[in-house]
Amino acid sequence: MKPGPRDGFRWNRETIVYAFELWNRRYLCSPTVDEWRRAGPDHPSVSTVRQVFGSWNRGVKAAGLRPRRPGEARGGEAPSVAPRESTLVRW
């Protein structure tokens, strides 16, 4: 398992659930795997979550959250999609 944010720290069920709860308080939604990977070093890795809970979704559910489906936007926001090249304006 990946060490945590300080020496001697190890991620366990309780601290992973707490990390998910903190995410939910900040963003008002459950994290996706891609968002979690970009979240920074103070989070357990995706592989650590899977190792502890058996799957990503089980970890999210253990925190009392609903896993988001692929492509599901955060709290009503439209999913971020790169603009098509044909819609770009050339100056």
Contact call for residues 4 and 11 (beta carbons, < 8 A): yes
The crossing angle, in degrees rounded to 10, of helices 46-53 and 13-27 is: 130
* Separation in Å, CA 63 to CA 13, 49, 86: 9, 12, 43
pLDDT band at 76 (very low <50, low <70, confident <90, very high): very low
Q: How much is the pLDDT for 62?
A: 97
Amino acid letter, residue 10: R
* Prediction pTM value: 0.73
Distance, in Å, from the CA atom of 70 to the CA atom of 14, rounded to the nearest integer, reads 26
Query: DSSP string of 44-81?
Result: --HHHHHHHHSSHHHHHHHTT-PPPPTTPPSTTPPPP-
Q: What is the pLDDT of residues 45-59, one digit of tens each?
A: 999 999 999 999 999
Q: Which of these, 28, 21, 74, lies nearest to 44 by C-alpha position?
A: 21
User: What is the structure's pLDDT at 44?
Assistant: 94
At 34, is the secondary structure helix, strand, or coil?
helix
Please report, rounded to a whole number, the percentage of residues in the chain having pLDDT higher than 90.
Answer: 58
Q: Can you give the pLDDT at residue 77?
A: 46
